[in-house]
């Protein structure tokens, strides 16, 4: 089998994310190197063996690996078939320098919930228009990472219930249904950590902030479609990135595409 090096990389419009990097490598080894940012890594197929701070580690598929900035590491496939990995490079807004030592001591985290959330984060990061979802998922990932690392140094976590704060965030989202609201801005306006905002909102209402916002947008889109507006026009006036973005969320929540919904409404009027 000939060596493969297939990669894709991009920088999404999500605060704190420096780069997203997906790769499939066979018969390729990284030399010792460093990053200026945090490296959050999952391996979807195969496994990677690497050295960090002169200690050997590995990344089976159920592991999340967190490599701290400025600490040398390398990487090579465990078997000739190589590996497929997904990486998010994060700046210090999500993980501070105080956690570097704990990450060096134990960079590989066996946490199935965290592993699933990192996979969901990658899905959201790859969809233009879903930046609020990506930011929310990143906030929860960062919170869980911090919990892991702080437990190693005897730290504690904060309480996660605050109905007043949850209501304030909902009111902000209601005011910004069309124009949108970044998690970073909401955190600044409400003087709260982004992860705490996502947690208290989800606890209070049983739905994540991005799901609430998309539900409100789809509701407005339904009313406009019933008035005869075209799906492309509806997408632009209800806050969606484009018509494809509207279609994806509309179909998920309503069960049909916006065009199919509009046609069914016209047919119903014809039978009236």
In Å, how far are 8, 48, 164, 204, 271 from 59, measured between CA atoms? Answer: 20, 5, 41, 36, 61
**Prediction pTM value:** 0.83
Matching residue, tokens 């702080």? 150
Class of domain 5-152: mainly beta
What's residue 265's pLDDT? Answer: 67
Measured in degrees and rounded to the nearest 5, phi and psi for residue 161 equal: -120, 130
Tokens of 41: 């890594």
Rounded Cα distance between 181 and 172, Å, is 8
Helix H, strand E, coil C: the string for the chain is: CCCCEEEEEECCCCCCEEEEEEEEECCCCEEEECCCCEEEEEEEEECEEEEECCEEEECCCCEEEEECCCCCEEEEECCCCCEEEEEEEECCCCCCHHHHHHHHHCCEEECHHHHHHHHHHHHHHCCCCCHHHHHHHHHHHHHHHHHHHHHHCCCCCCCCCCHHHHHHHHHHHHHCCCCCCCHHHHHHHHCCCHHHHHHHHHHHHCCCHHHHHHHHHHHHHHHHHHCCCCHHHHHHHCCCCCHHHHHHHHHHHHCCCHHHHHHHHHHHHHHC
Task: Output b/e per residue, 144-162; b: 16+ Cβ within 10 A.
Answer: bbbebbeeeeeeeeeeeeb
CATH superfamily name and code, 216-262: Homeodomain-like (1.10.10.60)
Measured in degrees and rounded to the nearest 5, phi and psi for residue 216 equal: -65, -40
Nearest to 121 by CA among 108, 101, 144, 138: 138
What's residue 2's pLDDT? Answer: 58
Rounded Cα distance between 86 and 222, Å, is 36
Cα–chain-centroid distance for residue 44? 17
Rounded Cα distance between 1 and 61, Å, is 23
CB 225 within 8 A of CB 264: no
What's residue 18's pLDDT? Answer: 92
Domain boundaries, the chain: 5-152, 163-206, 216-262
Nearest to 231 by CA among 268, 265, 182: 265
Beta carbons within 8 Å of 31's beta carbon, 6+ residues apart: 74
What's residue 258's pLDDT? Answer: 94
Positions of the chain with pLDDT under 50: 268-272
Tokens of 216: 């409100």
């Amino acid at each position: 089998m000939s060596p493969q090096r297939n990669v894709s990389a991009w920088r999404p419009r999500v605060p704190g994310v420096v780069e997203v990097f997906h790769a499939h490598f066979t018969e390729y080894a990284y030399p010792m190197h460093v990053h200026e940012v945090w490296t959050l890594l999952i391996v979807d197929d195969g496994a990677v063996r690497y050295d960090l701070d002169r200690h050997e580690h590995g990344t089976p598929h159920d592991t999340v690996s967190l490599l701290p900035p400025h600490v040398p590491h390398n990487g090579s496939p465990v078997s000739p078939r190589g590996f497929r990995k997904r990486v998010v490079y994060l700046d210090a807004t999500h993980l501070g320098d105080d956690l570097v030592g704990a990450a060096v001591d134990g960079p590989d985290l066996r946490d199935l919930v965290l592993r699933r959330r990192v996979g969901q984060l990658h899905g959201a990061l790859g969809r233009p228009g879903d930046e609020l979802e990506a930011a929310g998922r990143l906030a929860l990932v960062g919170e869980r990472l911090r919990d892991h690392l702080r437990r190693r140094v005897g730290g504690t976590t904060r309480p996660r219930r605050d109905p007043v704060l949850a209501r304030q965030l909902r009111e902000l989202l209601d005011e910004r249904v069309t124009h949108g609201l970044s998690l970073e801005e909401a955190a600044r306006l409400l003087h709260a950590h982004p992860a705490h905002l996502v947690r208290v909102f989800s606890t209070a209402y049983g739905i994540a902030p991005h799901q609430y916002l998309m539900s409100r947008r789809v509701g407005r889109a339904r009313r406009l479609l019933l008035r005869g507006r075209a799906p492309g026009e509806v997408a632009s006036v209800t806050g969606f990135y484009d018509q494809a973005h509207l279609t994806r969320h509309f179909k998920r929540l309503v069960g049909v595409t916006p065009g199919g919904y509009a046609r069914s409404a016209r047919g119903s009027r014809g039978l009236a």
